[in-house]
Amino acid sequence: MTNPTTLRFTKMHGAGNDFVVLDNCAGQIDLSPGLIKRLADRHFGVGADQVLVVESSSQADFKYRIFNADGQEVQQCGNGARCFAQYVFDKGLTQKNQITEETLAGIIQPELIRHNWVKVNMGPAEFSPGNVPFISEGLVTRKAGALTQYKLPIDLGPELEELWVGVASMGNPHVVILLEQPASDELVQHLGATLESHPRFPERVNVGFLHVVGRSQVHLRVYERGVGETLACGTGACAAAVVGMKMGLIAERVDVVKAGGTLTIEWSGQQDSDVLMTGPAQTVFEGEFYL
């Protein structure tokens, strides 16, 4: 029996984006920001980019809650969605290979393709600035294929002369920067931090640095809001892929390569069509955390 002064957890990762996963279907865990930050702390806690929580739902098979390492609850996490699905199956909470997950951004549908490999229907992408949300008023714009890009007047340093960005929501806000070569560490850290909390993004934003290798492969680095750069970002991969597809630079099925691994993104390009993401979901270890 678990000691009431400890909390059972599972450590998982999806392409290096790592999570602490908690079963709160009984509703007995006090999910305070302080507890989330302690669990996510890499020196004094378990260590994670996000804390994922399984709860009961009246709308879907499960409710899927996501907390960034800073304690803030957020709408969506694509790598986490795959780990969530693998977790509830491994724990015997469901026998179904395909489940529905209620999130703050709506219902999503993960499917276990094989052990530790999950496809998620992430729903449609949203490009309207007001729905990202992104304050675009007063900015210079241009068309890049079917995508509207916005010029942000920001001091960029030596790597970029001017900053043109695409914006998209995958249930959470993303800004995507197309680069002719892979982003440097300095650019990711400096520009990522600058844009994450830029006033034109009222809910902050995840910052993607996209380098197109070919029509079927891209490289991506993501500076996540409330976390910093992560080894992978599922919604970031989706956002970068659909932005590149709207620009006409990549195919309808593309491998998004990140430091932690590769995710495959599929999208037909139609306005209301769903974005599909396939990639790994693996358990690292389990344990008890002293409260």
Instruction: Report pLDDT digits (tens) over 7-45.
Output: 999 999 999 999 999 999 999 998 999 999 999 999 999
Instruction: From residue 60, give the alpha-carbon distance in Å to each of 64, 98, 113, 230, 233.
Output: 10, 12, 20, 29, 24
* 233 labelled catalytic: yes
Instruction: Report pLDDT digits (tens) over 192-245.
Output: 999 999 999 999 999 999 999 999 999 999 999 999 999 999 999 999 999 999
Architecture of domain 6-119+280-290: Roll (3.10)
Q: pLDDT value at position 90?
A: 97
pLDDT band at 160 (very low <50, low <70, confident <90, very high): low
* 83 labelled catalytic: no
Q: pLDDT value at position 51?
A: 98
Residue from 43, 42, 48, 46 nearest 14 by CA: 48
The dihedral built from the CA positions of residue 38, 39, 43 and 48, taken in this order, carries a sign that is: negative
Q: pLDDT value at position 38?
A: 97
pLDDT band at 4 (very low <50, low <70, confident <90, very high): low
Q: pLDDT value at position 3?
A: 54
Cα radius of gyration (the chain)? 19
pTM: 0.90
Strand partners, 243: none
Q: pLDDT value at position 5?
A: 87
The dihedral built from the CA positions of residue 271, 204, 161 and 240, taken in this order, carries a sign that is: negative
- Helix (H) / strand (E) element for 285: namely strand 282-290
Per-residue pLDDT for 154 more than 90?
no
Q: pLDDT value at position 271?
A: 84
Average pLDDT value for residue range 243-270: 97
Q: pLDDT value at position 1?
A: 44
CATH 3.10.310.10 residue window(s) in the chain: 6-119+280-290, 129-266
Q: Is 162 left (phi over 0), alpha (psi -120 to 50) or beta?
A: beta
* HSE (side-chain half, CA atoms, 13 Å) at 35: 17
* HSE (side-chain half, CA atoms, 13 Å) at 90: 21
- How many other C-beta atoms are found inside a 10 Å radius of the C-beta of residue 286? 11
202: tokens are 């009222």
| Catalytic-labelled residue, pool 25, 83, 233, 238 | 233
Instruction: Report pLDDT digits (tens) over 67-88.
Output: 999 999 999 999 999 999 999 9
**CATH tag for 129-266 (out of 1.10.3720.10, 3.10.310.10, 3.40.50.300, 3.40.50.1820):** 3.10.310.10
14: tokens are 């999806």
Q: At what angle do helices 234-246 and 78-90 cross, to 10 degrees?
A: 130
Residue from 285, 243, 267 nearest 20 by CA: 285
Q: pLDDT value at position 159?
A: 61
265: tokens are 């993104």
DSSP 181: S
pLDDT greater at residue 177 or residue 4: 177
Average pLDDT value for residue range 124-130: 97
Q: pLDDT value at position 9?
A: 98
